[in-house]
Structure formats: structure tokens, C-alpha cells
Homo-oligomer: A and B are copies of this chain.
């Protein structure tokens, strides 16, 4: 029987950046529990363990999977306060800006840094012990920095992780 050009079978293979449904199922599982045994993943997605092993290796080599990380609770590490700090840089000091960009991810307390377009240049997500530590962070590393023109700190009440729907892996 002939296959129409817009047949669903073709979309499964070509859509979604070259990932088939088995790949997406594997990714969904690994995004949720990165320590699940290869055997168990294979079972769940309905392929042999050796096939599953090869698939995961390929996904890693293709860069779809960048790594596997433990998710640590900042509060349990004594970092009870989180904040988002919007940073505006001064426009004229290219070299100082590059220095800022290079150093920011390594500052103590920075969970992640977003380089953004718009009124602000950077958004720094920081986790610190308490409000004293937050003040110290801003004064020691931001306010005094020659590339920094302005900062605005917002306390984070809650940080809700998105579901996998967010990465287009919904079933």
C-alpha cells in the first residue's frame, strides 16, 4: 500500500529534530531520573538493553544530552535565601564587560546567569545563606565592579521547575 507524503509515519521520523518516539521516551525518563538503570529504561520503552545503551550513547554524542546532574536543595546546604539580580552594565567598557561575563558564573552563590536582551543585561540567580550574605554579594561583586552600572535585586519566594512539556517531550 502506498504512503501519502504527509503520512503520520513520516512526521514521526522527520519532525522533532531527528528524534523518534523511542528517543523521546528515553529522554523523558532520563530527565526525570538520571540514575535509573539502563535495564529498566529499556524495559519501559520496550527495547533491548543493548539497544537502549546504544541509543543513550548516541544521544550523548549528538549533544542532545549534555550531562547528568544531581539536583541539590540549596536550603539543605544552608543557603536559605535565593534572589534574582538584574544587572545593567555600562556601555563603554568592552574589556571590562568581557571580564564581568567571564567572572560572573564563578562568583560564590551564583546558581546561573542569563545574558539577556532588553533593559537589563544580566539576570543572576543567586543562592545565599541570609540577607547579610546577599548584601555582601551585591556590594562585593556587583556594585563595586567597573562594568556594572546598576543592579536591582528581587527575592525569590519560590522556584518552580517546569515539567517536561517545557522541552517538547510531551507524549
Do residues A73 and B66 form an inter-chain contact, with CB atoms below 8 A?
yes
Distance in Å: Cβ of A161 to nearest Cβ of chain B: 5
> Do most interface residues of chain A lie in helix, strand or loop, or is the interface mixed?
mixed
A78 to B18 Cα, complex, angstroms: 9
A13 to B113 Cα, complex, angstroms: 32
Name the contact of A168 in the complex, choosing from B27, B77, B120 (C-beta under 8 A).
Answer: B77
Interface flags for A57-73 (1: CB within 8 Å of B; 0: not) read: 00000111111111111
Copies of chain A in the complex: 2
Distance in Å: Cβ of A128 to nearest Cβ of chain B: 9
Residues of A in contact (CB 8 Å), total 68
B residues less than 8 Å from A63 (CB atoms): 73, 76
Please report A residues at the B interface, Cβ cutoff 8 Å. Answer: 15-17, 19, 27, 30-35, 62-74, 76-79, 84, 104-120, 123, 125-127, 129, 152, 154-163, 165-170
